[in-house]
Structure 1
Amino acid sequence: MVKLNRYIGRTVTAAIILVLLVIVGIDLLSQLIDELKEIRGDYDFVAVLKYVLMVAPGSFYQYLPFAALVGCLAGLGNLASSSELVVMRAAGISTFRLILAVIRPTIILTLLGLLVAEYVAPVSQQIAESQRGVALQKSANIHSQYGMWHREGNEFMHFNAVQPNGVLYGVSVYRFDENRELTANTFAERASYQEGYWLMEEVSAVEFAETEATKKRYSELRWDTELSPELLNILVLDPEDLSISGLWRYANYLDKQGLNAGDYQLAFWNKILQPLMILGMVMVAISFIFGPLRQVTMGFRVFIGVMVGIIFRTLQDILGPSSLVYGFDPVYASVIPIVVCFAIGVVLLAKKT
């Protein structure tokens, strides 16, 4: 039985990895084509290629549920097409034991993916975005369209580029009063983090009064803010690219600032529940092989897997923004597709066992 489990596990794992490599390869090629349009200044083809390769780990975890679905359909479908599953069933191997043989390697891949998403992808993504931002901001004037915005109280901040070592480039700070009128505007070419504060360099500061505006220049200027390099390393990334711990910290920070943290809470629940989504996709694939797709061609199985994956992805994309618009807890937007996956898998398997 151990050899049989290993054989099924190798077959399914190889199929999942192959599908994952194909999907990620297509995604990276698409990103490369998009980034080639942005080549200018120091952001040359080598920098573009380096950027695309460094964001690859995030793509692996993002497409893992889809690859698990299609890979299980392909791997188990190959066993079904060669009548190996029939022989296993005739030898007295129960459907439940076959399901366990498929789920075990999937759990291992899921755990590996979770480690990549927590410790590898956010770091490589942050370094990639930082290097890209520094290269592009050199060809920009005061503001770079590739920078990022942040709000803290009545201050709105824009950074052209953020480096992971606590260095900012192209820092703009806009301060408003209670009537939402601009009272001050500060721009620094560079800012570095000291012990508890930021030191701005080559600063141009403008203060607005009712009848006049006063402009001053400083070689250095202290800037006090609650933003730390750790928080900025989170800010530079999109919510779906952050680690689970980073999402939790930044969502709490936004709550303390009285700002909407819905995007980060949604991304947090999507990531922490993704292992269950992967298992749900595997259950759907298993139920299809033992059920309606038992005697169809491999191409048709893959086609059905792609269609099912697109449907569930669309369901996630609809429920996620809906939770932000209508104000219900983002955890429900993450849980509902998982429940649907398991329900479909259990119902189809119950009909065939």
Structure 2
Amino acid sequence: MRTLRRYLTGHMVAGWALFATVMGVLLLLVRLIEELERVTDRYTSGKVVLHVLLTLPQQLLTLAPVIMLVGTLTAFARLEQLNELTVLRSAGVSKARLLRLLVMPLLVLCLLLWGAMEWVTAPLHQWGEEIRSEARGNNTLEPGQSLWSRSGLTYYRLGRLGLNRSPGDIDIFEFAPDHRLLRAIHAERAEVIEGRRWRLEDALVRSWDSGTLQVQRVPELSHDQLWSRDELQRLLLGMDSMPPSVLYAYQDYLQRSGQSGHAHALALWNRLLLPPAAVGMALLALGLGVKPGSQRGGMGRQLAAGVLVGVLFYLGSQILVALGQIYHLPPLGTASFPVLCIFLAALVLLRRLRW
């Protein structure tokens, strides 16, 4: 049992690695051609190559379901070419036993993908984006660009983010329930102490009391509900630089502060459901590719069909995400719909599988 599981797992891993390598090389060439057009004195070709290599794993991770589908089809096409599926069936290995043999490696793969997106691909992507951003001189907020946030009736604006991610040019506006401005705080410099607590330095505080304006200068002023250090490092680099834990914390903060966290929630669920989608694609490939005694031409058609299904899934998922953002569809339902379709199709094909 263990020997057979290792043998089948080895073939599947080889198929996944082969197709991942092919996709990685294609993406690498496309990204290099695209980025080399932006080479400058500071953004050199060496930094271009480093940026592309560091951001490549995150892009490959988004293609994990397609890689799993085509890689599994390739593995079982190879087994059929060697007539080993026929041997397995003749030896009394039932369809249910075959599925049980593959459950453990698929679960391990699912856990590895979750771990990779949390501790590997997102940090590498952030590193790569920071290299490009610093080399191109865009590591600070552009003139006129600001980050805004809100917590209840308090609004926050960040107008500058220094080279070492030190915040500056901060404004805080506190309103009453009837929309009267109660207090306005401005600070040229600040320091993130811990969590979302900031220490504003040399803050100018303007407050209105019974129609009277009071102005005072405060050397230090602490304030909560601002951006955390991790969020500051990633907000300007896009959501691909955020691991699931940071995405969850930020969308939770947006919702608790009365802001729209829909886009971040949708990105979070898409990220979390990516490994199950990859497992579903592997099961779908079993239903398409496990056909003992099939002709080689038939296996070629199955591989072509697998590639087509993978492309349609990827495009359909991207379209569904866009529609979810436009029409504010429920994030969990929007992200889980294609995954449920995959498992349903895999279940139908596996039930109809002649083994």
Q: TM-score, normalised by structure 1?
A: 0.79
- Structure 1 residue 260: Cα displacement: 1.4
* Structure of greater relative contact order (alpha carbons < 8 Å, 6+ residues apart): 2
Correspondence for 2:66: 66
- Structure 1 residue 248: Cα displacement: 0.7
Residue 99 in structure 1 maps to residue 118 in structure 2: no
Correspondence for 1:325: 326
Is the Cα–Cα contact under 8 Å of residues 12 and 75 in structure 2 kept in the other structure?
yes
Deviations 1:85-134 (A, max 9, x none): 01110111011222233343233233222211101222222222223222
State the distance in 2 between where 1:139 and 1:124 align: 17
State the distance in 2 between where 1:347 and 1:191 align: 59
State the distance in 1 between where 2:91 and 2:293 align: 22
Check 1:350–1:194 CA distance in 2 against 1; reply closer, same or farther (3 A cut): closer
Residue 114 in structure 1 maps to residue 117 in structure 2: no
Q: What is the letter of the counterpart of residue 40 of structure 1?
A: T
Check 1:200–1:308 CA distance in 2 against 1; reply closer, same or farther (3 A cut): farther
Correspondence for 1:24: 24
State the distance in 2 between where 1:26 and 1:349 align: 32
State the distance in 1 between where 2:109 and 2:222 align: 45
How many residue pairs match? The answer is: 330
Correspondence for 1:46: 46
Correspondence for 1:300: 301
State the distance in 2 between where 1:293 and 1:243 align: 45
Correspondence for 2:207: none
Q: What is the letter of the counterpart of residue 326 of structure 2?
A: V
Is the Cα–Cα contact under 8 Å of residues 320 and 334 in structure 2 kept in the other structure?
yes
Correspondence for 1:143: 142
Matches for 1:150-299 after TM superposition, within 5 Å: 150-152=148-150, 154-157=155-158, 163=164, 167-168=165-166, 193=192, 196-197=197-198, 226-290=226-290, 294-297=294-297, 299=300
Deviations 1:4-56 (A, max 9, x none): 22111101111111111221222222222222222224221111112112223
For structure 1, the 5+ residue unaligned runs are: 206-219
Check 1:335–1:137 CA distance in 2 against 1; reply closer, same or farther (3 A cut): same
Q: Which moved more, 1:93-102 or 1:279-288?
A: 93-102
Correspondence for 1:341: 342
Is the Cα–Cα contact under 8 Å of residues 284 and 342 in structure 2 kept in the other structure?
yes
Deviations 1:296-342 (A, max 9, x none): 44543332222101111122122222223333311111211111111
Check 1:68–1:32 CA distance in 2 against 1; reply closer, same or farther (3 A cut): same
State the distance in 1 between where 2:244 and 2:92 align: 43
Deviations 1:234-292 (A, max 9, x none): 42343344211111100011113322111111111112222221111011100001359
Correspondence for 2:311: 310
State the distance in 2 between where 1:162 and 1:221 align: 22
- Structure 1 residue 159: Cα displacement: 5.3
Q: Which moved more, 1:153-162 or 1:13-22?
A: 153-162
Q: TM-score, normalised by structure 2?
A: 0.78
State the distance in 2 between where 1:49 and 1:131 align: 11
Check 1:224–1:72 CA distance in 2 against 1; reply closer, same or farther (3 A cut): same
For structure 2, the 5+ residue unaligned runs are: 205-218
State the distance in 2 between where 1:5 and 1:251 align: 41
Find the residue that maps to 1:18 and give its secondary structure: helix
Check 1:157–1:288 CA distance in 2 against 1; reply closer, same or farther (3 A cut): same
Check 1:296–1:326 CA distance in 2 against 1; reply closer, same or farther (3 A cut): farther
Is the Cα–Cα contact under 8 Å of residues 190 and 199 in structure 2 kept in the other structure?
yes
Check 1:48–1:200 CA distance in 2 against 1; reply closer, same or farther (3 A cut): farther
Check 1:125–1:198 CA distance in 2 against 1; reply closer, same or farther (3 A cut): farther
Find the residue that maps to 2:49 and give its secondary structure: helix
Find the residue that maps to 2:39 and give its secondary structure: coil
Check 1:198–1:131 CA distance in 2 against 1; reply closer, same or farther (3 A cut): farther
State the distance in 2 between where 1:291 and 1:143 align: 58
Is the Cα–Cα contact under 8 Å of residues 288 and 294 in structure 1 kept in the other structure?
no
State the distance in 2 between where 1:102 and 1:254 align: 41
State the distance in 2 between where 1:101 and 1:300 align: 26
State the distance in 2 between where 1:34 and 1:228 align: 33
Check 1:158–1:20 CA distance in 2 against 1; reply closer, same or farther (3 A cut): farther
- Structure 1 residue 350: Cα displacement: 1.5
- Structure 1 residue 62: Cα displacement: 1.7
State the distance in 2 between where 1:240 and 1:293 align: 44
Find the residue that maps to 1:101 and give its secondary structure: helix
